[in-house]
Structure 1
Amino acid sequence: MKRIYLFRNTTLLMLAVSCNTQPTAESKNVYAPILKRAQWILGSWTQTVDEAVTTENWTKLSDSVFAGESFTVVRGDTVFYESVTFSQKVKDAFYNVSLRNEKPPAPVSFQLTSQDDSMLVFENKKHDYPTKISYRKITQDSIFAEISGLVNGTEKKQGFPLKRLPALK
């Protein structure tokens, strides 16, 4: 009888230990720091140049996806609009851009190539223009976005100094 109890207890212990599996890197999302380090981009940002008001809004959809939109309004008309996702897939992150009037809608993907606590750099060398998109945190209330790449063999850059809009209550 002692052998049966010993066998049963040993079997139950082995079963309990084998069922207590450790989470994998994907289930623990150990790569979450990619987006976590970029939370400074969340919120609403704006730039006004002459009559053009450009606004960029970023929200956190989940631990692995930020959603953004950027639009420019001139005298009440929206002259530019794009939607963006900044998403993390295991240890890689991507900036996917879709333009509103593009037919058929085909998002362009830029891979995160560099990041620190105040800078994000995304690149897609196969895209015509831009091939690089970057964001730099200047202060808590100021960022600088830039697009760049070659146009007819010449390096072109366009910068967007953006100020944080106050949060709506």
Structure 2
Amino acid sequence: MIRAWLMSALLVLCGLLVGASLLLGGSSAPSPVVPVLFLLLAWTQSPLFFPRRLDAAEAQRRSAADGRPVIYWRPGCTFCLRLRLRLGRRARRAYWVDIWRDPEGAAVVRAANGGDETVPTVVVAGRPHTNPDPGWVRVVLDALPAPGVRDAD
């Protein structure tokens, strides 16, 4: 759990140190802005920025039932952040598994990537896709039925 928050904590600490040094150095204009920018950056690197996480077993079970993709990620990964930002609100329609908090999720990623923990790894219909283009993931998510809408029998 500490590893998941390490990058965010370091960014907050750096922001405070840079802000304090600017303030002590006599440059008062940007000093309140710098810590705020570091806080925003820390938030994007934190587990809070990503949709509600699930463990791998639950995500796989839900994905098998409704066809939504499972996205394996880890905090501090710039490619995961890029995917999350590019998906916008659509990100909530996928199941997110933090491989640093779920050893089974890490094992799935290693099995899909020749032993490496390369993320993001997106599993769609049982097929893994390593670091896919965010546009492609958006198309996959857009092809899903709207939440709460079921096909007529």
Whether these two folds match at TM > 0.5 is no
Of structures 1 and 2, the one with the larger relative CO (CA 8 A, separation 6+) is: 2
More strand per residue: 1
Task: Give the structure with higher Rg (CA).
Answer: 1
With the length of structure 1 as denominator, give the TM-score of the two structures.
Answer: 0.28
